[in-house]
A = this chain, B = another copy of it.
Amino acid sequence: MAVITIIGAGMMGSALAFPARENGNTVRLVGTPLDREIIDTCRKTNRHPKFTRDFPAGVEYYQIEDVKTALDGAAFVIGGVSSFGVDWFSEEILPIIPEDMPIITVTKGLYDTEDGTLLCYPQLWAERLAARGMKRNLNAIGGPCTSYELVAHDQTEVTFCGSDPDTLRMLRDAMKTDYYHISLSTDVVGIESAVALKNGYALGIALTIGLNQRAFGLDSELHFNSQAAIFGQSVREMAGLLAMRGAGTLDNLCVGAGDLYVTVYGGRTRLVGILLGRGLNIDEAKAELQGVTLESLVVAERVARAVKKKAERGEISIGDYPLLMHIDDILTKKAPVEIPWEKFTKETF
């Protein structure tokens, strides 16, 4: 049994306390400066304010000022910040984690540089640390997993990725349960890309739900032909984007397809897509969802921006990504939804 320190008491970080603690590990859940009230609540009730189930008995809760105590003697750290917390995590937390203490992050996302290079967070952090003469053992969790279903013990399969197989095996041994199943991969770029790329495409599928509500009424039954058409096109475009990243393997594509599937039903991205499909523009949709964080839209914009830069340099063909480009127009140019269905058809002779 090990000591596991989770930093970030959002839903995903907190959900990982369940398998971690149920395996008999000592689990220390540390809030970020924004999680102060969450930690207070957890201490009082032993339940995360957004969960419907108590934490397993024995999870320990820490405010951020006690983070060093929480790190003392830990076998590894789980980074559970949102994508809006990655800079804080990289500047304030990574440097105080001992060099030999592995870190595994659940933050999904991609960062794009000026020249159109997409970096996943372990890459971004490694670069920033290197600039300060530092190095950490950085790993990540990808794959289809919503926090509230993990808390409910729904059967879940994820992939732990990192550069060192022994570290990955140690992490798996500490975390795997009879409902939390863990694949391992040294293809960090591939796994992290697969699970980030799906964001724009999940929005795309949700658009069709809103379009049908506009056409057939808000209470109309869900239609799936159009969702499935977008799903197929999404898998095609994701395969292209993975190949663009040198990660076009079937393993990565399957992780991406599974993650796309779960995200279509996740809350926030779906809601935005439906509102857009009903006829709102992106500003109106965001206003409707005031206060909801929409990390997925940020990622979709970054991916589209990178694709356009690569296309300008002739490295890829923009015509291979009609769905992503339409989603980008919706997000960045307030374009109305007009899905280019015919562009998805092809002749394979």
Interface, chain A (partner B; CB < 8 A): 143-146, 149-150, 152, 154-157, 165, 181-187, 208, 211-212, 216, 222-229, 231-233, 235-236, 239, 249-251, 253-255, 257-259, 261-262, 265-266, 339, 341-342, 344-349
Contact B208 A155 (CB under 8 A): yes
Beyond contacts A155-B211, A181-B229, A222-B265: 20 other A-B pairs, Cβ-Cβ < 8 A, are: A143-B232, A149-B223, A154-B212, A154-B223, A155-B339, A157-B341, A182-B345, A183-B348, A185-B347, A185-B348, A224-B262, A228-B258, A231-B258, A233-B258, A235-B254, A235-B258, A236-B250, A239-B254, A251-B348, A257-B257
Across chains A and B, which 9 residue pairs bring their CB atoms closest together, nearest first? A232-B258, A144-B228, A228-B262, A157-B229, A154-B223, A155-B226, A185-B348, A156-B225, A149-B225
Residue of B nearest to A259 (CB): B228
Contact A225 B146 (CB under 8 A): yes
- 8 of the cross-chain contacts (CB-CB < 8 Å) are A146-B224, A154-B225, A155-B229, A157-B232, A157-B341, A181-B344, A231-B261, A261-B261
Chain B residues near A339 (CB-CB < 8 A): 155
Contact A348 B262 (CB under 8 A): no
Given A156-B229, A228-B262, are A347 and B254 also a contact pair (CB < 8 Å)? Answer: no
Most B CB contacts (10 A, CB to CB) among A165, A182, A231 go to A231
Chain B residues near A223 (CB-CB < 8 A): 149, 152, 154
Chain B residues near A150 (CB-CB < 8 A): 225
Chain B residues near A212 (CB-CB < 8 A): 154
How many monomers of this protein are in the complex?
2
Contact A228 B261 (CB under 8 A): yes
Contact A184 B347 (CB under 8 A): yes
Chain B residues near A211 (CB-CB < 8 A): 155
Chain B residues near A145 (CB-CB < 8 A): 225
Residue of B nearest to A179 (CB): B341
Q: Which of B181, B216, B258, B261 contacts A345 (CB 8 A)?
A: B181
Distance of A312 from chain B, by nearest CB (Å): 25
Chain B residues near A261 (CB-CB < 8 A): 224, 227-228, 231-232, 261
Contact B254 A236 (CB under 8 A): yes
Distance of A175 from chain B, by nearest CB (Å): 12
Given A224-B149, A225-B155, are A232 and B254 also a contact pair (CB < 8 Å)? Answer: yes
Contact A157 B349 (CB under 8 A): no
Residue of B nearest to A216 (CB): B152
With the chains together, A224 CA to B186 CA distance in Å?
A: 26
Contact A262 B186 (CB under 8 A): no
Given A152-B216, A347-B184, are A232 and B255 also a contact pair (CB < 8 Å)? Answer: yes
Contact A344 B157 (CB under 8 A): yes
With the chains together, A72 CA to B220 CA distance in Å?
A: 41
Distance of A219 from chain B, by nearest CB (Å): 14
Chain B residues near A344 (CB-CB < 8 A): 157, 181, 183
Chain B residues near A266 (CB-CB < 8 A): 224
Chain B residues near A254 (CB-CB < 8 A): 232-233, 235-236, 239
Residue of B nearest to A347 (CB): B184
